[in-house]
Structure 1
Amino acid sequence: MNPPATSFRVATYNIHKGVQGIGPARRLEIHNLGHAIEQLDADIICLQEVRKMNRQAAARFHRWPELPQADFLAPEGYTAVYETNAITKHGEHGNALLTRWPVLRKTHQDISDHRFEQRGLLHVAIDLDGRTVHTIVVHLGLIKGSRIRQIAQLREFVEREIPPGEALVVAGDFNDWGARMRYAMNAMGMRDSSDLRGPRTLTYPSRLPVAQLDFIYGRQVEPVASAVPRGPIWARMSDHLPLVTDFSLSKQ
């Protein structure tokens, strides 16, 4: 009998709807993203800007997947969980979570702050060898005031839905220039996995990163290492780079 798992890897990645470039130069990157996500070898993968469907893109790109992007990107043996945040003229997109561990339950909450930005949080409870690990995928607003109010909604959700003694990870695109939301997250007992001694984990823009907009926070877990894959291939697939963090479970 194998001993219970005490460590796990989390990745967060804004995939830019699987398409890069503008105008006639737009190109389909969803197939490359599938290979890249598999290479991350993460137990939990948090994705933002994931398309469930898009009629315009499907008509433009002859290799557009028949499956929703979350299911298409899930490596073999993984479970895909998706919830729509935004409904547009040609389709809909939202947050997704892929995991190699069993899913216990999922919850979704609309955290839109105004009608021009449709945002949501996706909560998935995962069974990691008998321990429940709660993961929340977020994509916060572009306006600072919106982010402050959305973090307040996140805190209310956590206090209402997640027992204080259970492991919790919050990951996603915080749109947080200067890591100003870190203080509010710390006040919730959440530690930023990037706040470790080591190379800076800059994720945006992917071709020449100058800022970290993507974060992974944890409670009742200990961050061990955090890294951002770099190189020409990663730079072309999305305007963000993925952030990857290894955690160990705190002792019960």
Structure 2
Amino acid sequence: MTAPSLHVTTFNIHKGFSQFNRRMMVHELRDRLRHLNPDIVFLQEVQGLHLGHAENHHNWPSAPQHEFLADEVWQASAYGRNMIYDHGHHGNAILSRFPILDSHNQDVTHLQFEKRGLLHCRIALPEGPAAHCVCVHLSLFGHSRRRQMHALADYLDSMADPTAPIIIAGDFNDWSNKAGQQLAARLGLIEVFSQRDGRPVRSFPAAMPMFRLDRIYVRGFNIISTEVHHGQPWSAISDHAALSACLGRHGA
């Protein structure tokens, strides 16, 4: 019997607003994610609370964005609060069709004006061992990114068996891919889009992607297919394209 494939998506959702914050798009975002129908969703720039938006937009969701997006479709969700301010907070989130066994948000802030975290969830898949899933949104600055990727590798080395399946996805802001290659080599990861020409896919800006910012790294999975979701309607929702991959388990 063939093991079921695993469909994963990563998306920097720009706090639920279109590029340049012109329009609130969180309802359209929920519709697009449900149309894609992935098993596990890695989200960056998720608004956990914003009192100003709640006051100024009559249809602003009453629940945190990760709960609003997951409602009745993804049975489990986790949120890692990174940036905290007087009127709210935002961070990373993971939505899952499968049980989240445990979750932890690891603070990897290097520059105090740029709070960053790594949201780690251990997710029970239908077959085989649980997968270590990490949602990341790394620094805009190269030195800080390298420190954060070293911190991520150190963290997973301490938490995961060296043969355990891993999925790391998110906005790496790694323009040159130098730090990403170091991370992949240290943990034995494959970047799912790099099988084509050795480079991650272009994902920013969403209307006409030019820069290779977003990634999906895996260990313990075969890559069945990949897709970049850019142009309309995606470019009306966020400034980043969404990335998806269909994965199979090794040996299945």
TM-score category of the 2 structures, normalised to the smaller one: over 0.9
The code of the aligned residue for 1:196 comes to Q
Contact 2:11–2:43 (CA<8 Å) still a contact in 1? yes
Quote how far apart the aligned CAs of 1:21 are: 4.5
Alignment of 1:1-252 (within 5 A): 5-22=3-20, 26-74=22-70, 76-78=72-74, 79-131=76-128, 132-187=130-185, 188-197=187-196, 201-251=201-251
* RMSD of aligned residue pairs (Cα, Å): 1.8
Quote how far apart the aligned CAs of 1:109 are: 0.6
The code of the aligned residue for 1:251 comes to G
Q: 1:214 to 1:200 in 2, by over 3 A?
A: closer
Structure 2 residues not aligned, in runs of 5+: none
Percent identity between the two aligned chains: 36
Q: 1:82 to 1:4 in 2, by over 3 A?
A: farther
Structure 1 residues not aligned, in runs of 5+: none
The alignment's TM-score, normalised by the length of structure 1, stands at 0.93
CA distance in 2, matches of 1:181, 1:20: 29
CA distance in 2, matches of 1:177, 1:162: 28
CA distance in 1, matches of 2:9, 2:77: 14
Contact 2:100–2:123 (CA<8 Å) still a contact in 1? yes
Q: 1:37 to 1:213 in 2, by over 3 A?
A: same
The alignment's TM-score, normalised by the length of structure 2, stands at 0.93
Give the SS at the match of 2:233. helix
C-alpha offsets along residues 81-135 of structure 1, whole Å, 9 cap, x if unaligned? 1110110232000100001111111111100011010000011111111421110
Give the SS at the match of 1:149. helix
